[in-house]
Structure 1
Amino acid sequence: MAVRRSAPSVPRHRALGMSNTHATSRILPLGSVDCHAHVIKMGLPLISDRHSQPAREASVEDYLSTLTAHGVTYGLLTAPSFFGPNNEVLLDALRLSAGRLRGTVTVQPDISEDALADLQSEGVCGIRLNWVKRQAIPNIHSNEYQGLLGKAKNLGLHIEVFLEGEHLPPVLAAINASGARAVIDHFGNPGGSDGIRSEGFLALLDALEAGNTWVKLSAPFRLRGSEAPALAAKIIQQSNGERALWATDWPWVGHEDKITYPQCIESLFECVPDEAIRNRILTKNAHEAFGFGS
């Protein structure tokens, strides 16, 4: 069973994003969730086949302060690819967050169910498959990965996927077939300016309609030519707004000096102009997907 954490107390003036001069003028509903961010400690070993690397430290204290300054109650930390299966920085952050943060971890596929349950008891709610920018992706149909999907289903952990859209259909199909919940990063990462009509994005839309898949409206600056508002409109239409999530990708590895938190909030308002749907994405959808607020 997922660990349930009580809602933290956030002062009303700070929850409205009025605590400092860097706060956005947009008001977010109480209980809002940023569903994708990273904490980073410099000087740790990095895996050899990484596709990115950190430029600076990003502490949990900095992230929590950023959330509060912009009226965001909760955050979902995602294991950065360059640390591989070393999740200690993320786990330390969860311990220090007083229930405001949950996390997805990177693990070896042969990890035991007991070890996953131990991680879950510390606030972990999912397993990340970061398979982007690889010459060949792992075999999701192998015994090890089928076993991992089965363990995730048993424990109620979601499977978070970051992958090029053109490689997504068989991976998404395997996760859905296992009964585990799928959470897809960054609009499904479709390729090219016509990505909205691509096979991968259409497969994502089908999975959303089937009901056991969520997708993050996150990191439009990482898209490969597609327009974020158009993708968001299709995602919302296909799921009646019920399985879209919002995230910032803080601290924007590789784009640290180009993106700001208010810009990420403005992107959400651009992608989702309907207030009722936007508020559902910020609160109810994320609470249901990751166990926040209960």
Structure 2
Amino acid sequence: MTAILAVDSHAHVFMQHMPLTAARRYAPDFDARPAEYLDLLDMHGITHGVLVQPSFLGYDNSYLLSVLRQQPQRLRGVVMLEPDTSEAELAALAAGGVTGVRLNLVGQVLPDLSLPLWQAFLARIRALDWHLELHREAADLPALLAAAARSGCRVVVDHFGRPAPLQASADAGFAELLRHADAGRVWVKLSAAYRNASDSPDRDAPAARECARQLLAAFGPQRLVWGSDWPHTQHRHLADYGTSLAALADWVPDAAQRREILGATAAELFHIPQ
């Protein structure tokens, strides 16, 4: 029987002994092995996965790319790149299964995406039909989204848009993210609600549910994707693969909408044949 298409849009693989970038917030003390990840996909009925470059590995995407080469049908990749990356290198990455570029800006100085260097880079991303993945607290999203919008490239916002824990859906940056739904070039990942948490389970679960409700109302299932955030770095005490997948049913109660989020929406965004 043919498996129903379902995509995990956000996971990481790495080995703890790998050289780490100097500008890092975290260093892993465990391995996140590709074989373990693939076993989890099989166990939970997920047909495809998207590997996202971990911030602590910086611009050295070599390990991620090696894993993509081993699983070209099942896996896609989102890498970290400098904005002067050439068209030839981008084309080679696209041929290897890469479909996006990540800007993990948590704890970093914000780049000015309106500068000619960045606008030219975003234009090259757009030409490949890739997306720019933004990971930053919601308060700083408006300027980033406005500058990215000028290029016309697709933008994927990580982890609900990272609203402030004590504000959740009342965060002004989150409200601005909702307004970008009308432009039709922004997608949001329903993933890792624990990264927006206040450490109060009684408060955090309803907050994530309300954020998801507002995102679904604004973007619809056509521009929301789900990610496990495996292996849940710094939050392994709070989540595992099963609880991350179960959370989607809490955030999106309608089964047909969940199928669209996991299937057609993610497949189109990450260039997965249907």
TM range (shorter): over 0.9
Does residue 181 (structure 1) correspond to residue 151 (structure 2)? The answer is: no
The count of corresponding residues between Structure 1 and Structure 2 is 267
Match of 2:190 in 1: 217
Give 5+ residue unaligned stretches, structure 2.
199-203
Alpha-carbon distance in 1 for matches of 2:267, 2:261: 9
SS in 1 for 2:106: coil
Alpha-carbon distance in 2 for matches of 1:108, 1:240: 32
Within 5 Å, give how 1:103-252 maps onto structure 2. Answer: 103-134=77-108, 136-225=109-198, 227-252=207-232
Alpha-carbon distance in 1 for matches of 2:92, 2:72: 18
Alpha-carbon distance in 1 for matches of 2:77, 2:134: 14
Identity of aligned residues (%): 38
2:238 to 254, 258, 282: 258
Q: Which has the higher helix share?
A: 2
1:73-118 Cα distance to aligned partner (Å, 9 max, x none):
0001100001110001110110111410000000111111111111
2:72–2:96 Cα contact (<8 Å) kept:
no
TM-score normalized with structure 2 length: 0.93
1:293 Cα offset (Å): 2.7
SS in 2 for 1:41: coil
Does residue 34 (structure 1) correspond to residue 14 (structure 2)? The answer is: no
SS in 1 for 2:8: strand
- Answer with 149-158 or 251-260: which moved more: 251-260
Match of 2:38 in 1: 64
1:60–1:97 Cα contact (<8 Å) kept:
no
Alpha-carbon distance in 1 for matches of 2:220, 2:154: 18
Match of 1:18 in 2: none
Alpha-carbon distance in 2 for matches of 1:258, 1:277: 26
Alpha-carbon distance in 1 for matches of 2:66, 2:94: 14
TM-score normalized with structure 1 length: 0.87
2:263 to 253, 259, 283: 283
1:55 Cα offset (Å): 2.1
1:258 Cα offset (Å): 3.3
1:42 Cα offset (Å): 2.2
Letter in 2 for 1:203: E
Give 5+ residue unaligned stretches, structure 1.
1-10, 16-29
Distance 1:196-1:258 versus aligned 2 partners, 3 A rule: closer
- Answer with 230-239 or 137-146: which moved more: 137-146
Letter in 1 for 2:272: F
1:240 Cα offset (Å): 2.6
- Answer with 139-148 or 76-85: which moved more: 139-148
SS in 2 for 1:242: helix
Structure 1 runs, 4 residues or longer, greater than 3 Å off: none
SS in 1 for 2:221: coil
Letter in 1 for 2:253: P
1:53–1:253 Cα contact (<8 Å) kept:
no
1:191 Cα offset (Å): 1.1
Match of 2:22 in 1: 48
1:17-40 Cα distance to aligned partner (Å, 9 max, x none):
xxxxxxxxxxxxx11000000010
1:242-286 Cα distance to aligned partner (Å, 9 max, x none):
211101100111123432111011110110111111111110110
Letter in 2 for 1:96: Q
1:78–1:103 Cα contact (<8 Å) kept:
yes
SS in 2 for 1:110: coil
2:72–2:97 Cα contact (<8 Å) kept:
no
1:55–1:253 Cα contact (<8 Å) kept:
no
